[in-house]
Amino acid sequence: MTKARNFSLSLSLVLGAGTLAVGLVPQPMVFLAGALLLGLLGVVTLRFRGWRWVQDRELESSHSVFAVGCVVAMTLASLLRSTDWSFVLVPVVSIAVTTSAFYWLDRHVDIQDSRSSSDP
Protein backbone atom coordinates (compact mmCIF):
# COMPACT_ATOMS: atom_id res chain seq x y z
CA MET A 1 0.00 0.00 0.00
CA THR A 2 1.38 3.41 -0.96
CA LYS A 3 1.99 6.08 1.66
CA ALA A 4 -0.81 8.24 0.25
CA ARG A 5 -3.25 5.33 0.33
CA ASN A 6 -2.14 4.46 3.85
CA PHE A 7 -2.81 8.02 5.01
CA SER A 8 -6.17 8.12 3.19
CA LEU A 9 -7.23 4.88 4.87
CA SER A 10 -6.18 6.12 8.32
CA LEU A 11 -8.04 9.39 7.83
CA SER A 12 -11.16 7.64 6.52
CA LEU A 13 -11.18 5.25 9.48
CA VAL A 14 -10.89 8.13 11.95
CA LEU A 15 -13.76 9.89 10.17
CA GLY A 16 -15.87 6.71 10.26
CA ALA A 17 -15.08 6.19 13.95
CA GLY A 18 -16.01 9.81 14.62
CA THR A 19 -19.36 9.29 12.90
CA LEU A 20 -19.95 6.19 15.03
CA ALA A 21 -19.02 8.05 18.21
CA VAL A 22 -21.23 11.07 17.46
CA GLY A 23 -24.14 8.79 16.51
CA LEU A 24 -23.95 6.14 19.21
CA VAL A 25 -21.85 6.95 22.28
CA PRO A 26 -23.97 8.37 25.12
CA GLN A 27 -23.21 11.66 26.82
CA PRO A 28 -20.89 12.55 28.50
CA MET A 29 -18.71 9.65 27.25
CA VAL A 30 -19.04 10.95 23.70
CA PHE A 31 -16.88 13.96 24.58
CA LEU A 32 -14.15 11.65 25.91
CA ALA A 33 -14.43 9.49 22.79
CA GLY A 34 -14.27 12.63 20.64
CA ALA A 35 -11.17 13.85 22.44
CA LEU A 36 -9.52 10.43 21.95
CA LEU A 37 -10.36 10.48 18.25
CA LEU A 38 -8.99 14.00 17.84
CA GLY A 39 -5.83 12.77 19.61
CA LEU A 40 -5.68 9.80 17.26
CA LEU A 41 -6.08 12.16 14.33
CA GLY A 42 -3.15 14.16 15.68
CA VAL A 43 -1.05 11.00 15.93
CA VAL A 44 -1.93 10.04 12.35
CA THR A 45 -1.06 13.53 11.14
CA LEU A 46 2.24 13.51 13.04
CA ARG A 47 3.10 10.12 11.53
CA PHE A 48 2.97 11.75 8.13
CA ARG A 49 4.76 14.88 9.22
CA GLY A 50 6.73 16.40 6.41
CA TRP A 51 4.26 15.27 3.78
CA ARG A 52 1.88 17.69 2.14
CA TRP A 53 -1.46 17.11 0.51
CA VAL A 54 -1.78 17.76 -3.19
CA GLN A 55 -5.30 17.94 -4.53
CA ASP A 56 -6.32 17.09 -8.04
CA ARG A 57 -6.22 20.36 -9.99
CA GLU A 58 -9.37 19.39 -11.86
CA LEU A 59 -11.20 19.69 -8.59
CA GLU A 60 -10.45 23.34 -7.99
CA SER A 61 -14.09 24.30 -8.44
CA SER A 62 -15.28 21.68 -5.97
CA HIS A 63 -12.30 21.46 -3.66
CA SER A 64 -14.48 21.77 -0.57
CA VAL A 65 -16.39 18.54 -1.32
CA PHE A 66 -14.44 16.57 1.27
CA ALA A 67 -14.86 19.17 4.03
CA VAL A 68 -18.59 19.57 3.37
CA GLY A 69 -18.91 15.77 3.24
CA CYS A 70 -17.32 15.51 6.69
CA VAL A 71 -19.78 18.09 8.07
CA VAL A 72 -22.74 16.29 6.47
CA ALA A 73 -21.58 12.96 7.93
CA MET A 74 -21.29 14.37 11.46
CA THR A 75 -24.62 16.21 11.16
CA LEU A 76 -26.36 13.08 9.92
CA ALA A 77 -24.89 11.06 12.78
CA SER A 78 -26.03 13.61 15.35
CA LEU A 79 -29.53 13.66 13.80
CA LEU A 80 -29.77 9.88 13.88
CA ARG A 81 -28.55 9.80 17.47
CA SER A 82 -31.12 8.42 19.93
CA THR A 83 -33.52 7.32 17.23
CA ASP A 84 -34.99 3.85 17.48
CA TRP A 85 -32.94 2.71 14.49
CA SER A 86 -29.66 4.42 15.40
CA PHE A 87 -27.93 1.11 16.16
CA VAL A 88 -28.54 0.06 12.59
CA LEU A 89 -28.47 3.36 10.69
CA VAL A 90 -25.40 4.96 12.31
CA PRO A 91 -23.07 1.99 11.54
CA VAL A 92 -24.44 1.95 7.98
CA VAL A 93 -23.72 5.70 7.64
CA SER A 94 -20.30 5.19 9.22
CA ILE A 95 -19.36 2.43 6.76
CA ALA A 96 -20.66 4.53 3.85
CA VAL A 97 -18.70 7.57 5.06
CA THR A 98 -15.48 5.58 5.57
CA THR A 99 -15.72 3.97 2.13
CA SER A 100 -16.69 7.19 0.33
CA ALA A 101 -13.96 9.21 2.07
CA PHE A 102 -11.30 6.63 1.24
CA TYR A 103 -12.47 6.39 -2.37
CA TRP A 104 -12.52 10.20 -2.76
CA LEU A 105 -9.15 10.76 -1.08
CA ASP A 106 -7.53 7.90 -2.96
CA ARG A 107 -8.79 9.21 -6.26
CA HIS A 108 -8.39 12.94 -5.92
CA VAL A 109 -5.71 13.62 -3.32
CA ASP A 110 -2.08 12.67 -3.17
CA ILE A 111 0.67 13.40 -0.68
CA GLN A 112 4.16 14.46 -1.53
CA ASP A 113 7.27 14.68 0.55
CA SER A 114 7.54 18.43 1.00
CA ARG A 115 11.28 18.21 1.73
CA SER A 116 12.15 16.32 -1.44
CA SER A 117 9.76 18.36 -3.62
CA SER A 118 11.23 21.62 -2.38
CA ASP A 119 14.69 20.52 -3.40
CA PRO A 120 15.89 21.97 -6.68
Partner 1 sequence: MLHLGVGSHDGKTISSSTLVMNPDKQALEMLGQAVQKAKAQDPSGFDQRIKLITSSKALVEYLASYKGLDRSMQIEGLAASMPTDALTGMADMMDKKVIEYKVRPASASSNWVTMSVKQDRMASYSDNSGAVTTLGLGSLPQCPSAWAAFWAWFAFNTAFCAPFAAYPPAAVACALGLGLGGMIIDFNKGC
**By the criterion CB under 8 A, which residues form the site for partner 1?**
11, 14-15, 18, 22, 27, 30-31, 34, 37-38, 41, 44-45, 53, 55, 63-68, 70-71, 73-75, 77-84, 86, 105, 109
Query: Pseudo-torsion of CA 109, 103, 20, 15, nearest 10°?
Result: -10
> 74 or 96: whose CB is closer to partner 1?
74
Nearer to partner 1, 83 or 115 (CB): 83
The CA–CA distances, whole Å, from 60 to 42, 57, 64, 74, 106 equal: 26, 6, 9, 24, 16
Q: In angstroms, what is the minimal distance from the CB of 53 to partner 1?
A: 6
Judged by CB, which is closer to partner 1: 97, or 120?
97
| Shortest Å, Cβ 95 to partner 1 | 16
In whole angstroms, how close is the CB of 11 to partner 1 at the nearest point? 6
How many Å apart are CA 4 and CA 2, to the nearest integer?
5
Taking Cα atoms as reference points, which of 66, 68, 72 lies closest to residue 102? 66
